[in-house]
Amino acid sequence: MASSIPHIQACRMYWTVHLEGGPRRVNHAAVVVLDKIYSFGGYCTGENYQRKRPMDVHILNTGNYRWHALPTPEYNDVTKTTVPYQRYGHTAVEHEQKIYIWGGRNDEAACNRLFCFNPDTLTWSSPKVSGMIPAARDGHSACVINNQMFVFGGFEEQMDRFSQDVYALDLRTMVWRYIITQGDPPSYRDFHSANAIDDRMYIFGGRGDVYGPYHSQEELYSNSIMYLDTATGVWHQPRTTGDIPLGRRSHSAFVYKNSLYVFGGYNGLCDEHFNDLYQFSPVTNTWTLMQTLGKPPSRRRRQSCLVVGDRVFLFGGTSPYQGQMSYQVIEDLYNEGIDSKLMDHNDMHILDFAPSLRTLCAMIVINNQLDYSSLPEELRWELRVMVTPNSISRPLNNTG
């Protein structure tokens, strides 16, 4: 049971940069290669996701915080191309500086074809795979351990059910295999998270159902954390202490210095979005509610969080709409099939685990709107990129 008084940990973690104007994407997949972040697909409310069109790719330079979109190729027959179609609920992993996209769906069907993106050439391929290929699905998870991409859970398109199975793709031989595990696995679920720490795959959160694999609208949100020892194939459920998070789905989970962190997400039973940050220690099996400095992101779900050095880059997702809208705007959104209660984000936040004195001084200058025109050009450039919005997408104009 979670304690009634949270262990709020004082620390130097600081939300620093917040920029608008990036790709407005929800339920996308993103990965880090060297010092760049690559974001693939996802959706934006109101767009057409029935027809098949090439997946969009956005690249973030983490040095100057600038996004740019790759040109989208044109094609007619998606069954003959090596470019994946636009989708959501898919996964992206990095292995030997190449990116592998698997699963996901558009509004018509899910996919189980493997795609590979080469950041050096900015080109796609579709590697030939063999073995026991998992059924098409979305809302699954994937992580790489010892040259293998482990896939867990998700919602299977053909069987119309949640999954609790584990598959592994050997990224050297491109052979899929079904993993026979021992012990009680995590319950059937989708939109959970999976993270690799050493040889373990940690599973947290997600949406399940009281009827197990079948979707009856009676949802479950587990807050238990479990891990698969990939060396032995045995599932474990450690006994945890501390500030155990409320169950949630569509959250972000990332690993920093061998600790697992969980940000945000959504619980449908209480209809609540989150912007809290928890740390889980795999050594002590303790959860800790983290206290951060600076202004945190708004409550949201289906965003991405990527670790680059000592910083976490968070972008995209969707939140309850906070502003005021005129009747005409609400009517226009309704006519377009858009839920006016939610808004899709195009912003980016950076959480710095170890901010330097230089960064802290820059935050003072920015937050107090101090004149920095007399500073050296290098410092002025740094301050400019920290406050200059991107121009990939336009701001929402929902006010009446």
- Residue 124, C-beta contacts closer than 8 angstroms, at least 6 positions apart: 82, 83, 84, 115, 116, 117, 118
- Kindly tell me if the per-residue pLDDT of 197 is higher than 80: yes
- Position 7 confidence tier, pLDDT thresholds 50, 70, 90: very low
Return the exposure string of 103-129: e unless at least 16 CB atoms fall within 10 Å of the residue's CB, then b. bbbbeeebbbbbbbbebeeeebeeeeb
Give the mean model confidence (pLDDT) for residues 266-290.
97
Residue 49: what pLDDT? 73
61-85 average pLDDT score: 83
User: pLDDT digits over 92-107, tens only?
Assistant: 999 999 999 999 999 8
Q: Identify the band that residue 217 occupies on the pLDDT scale cut at 50, 70 and 90.
A: confident
pLDDT in tens, 329-363: 445 545 544 445 788 999 999 999 999 999 999 99
**Superfamily grouping for domain 29-299:** Kelch-type beta propeller (2.120.10.80)
Q: What's the confidence (pLDDT) of residue 329?
A: 47
Cα 291 versus chain centre, distance: 21
Poorest-pLDDT segment among 63-77, 182-196, 345-359: 63-77
Distance CA 265, CA 319 (A): 10
Nearest to 26 by CA among 94, 85, 86, 100: 86
Mean pLDDT across 115-139: 97
Q: Above 80 in pLDDT, residue 202?
A: yes
Q: How far apart are CA 342 and CA 330, in angstroms?
A: 12
138-183: pLDDT as tens digits: 999 999 999 999 999 999 988 899 999 999 999 999 999 999 999 9
Residues 193/253, Cβ–Cβ less than 8 Å:
yes
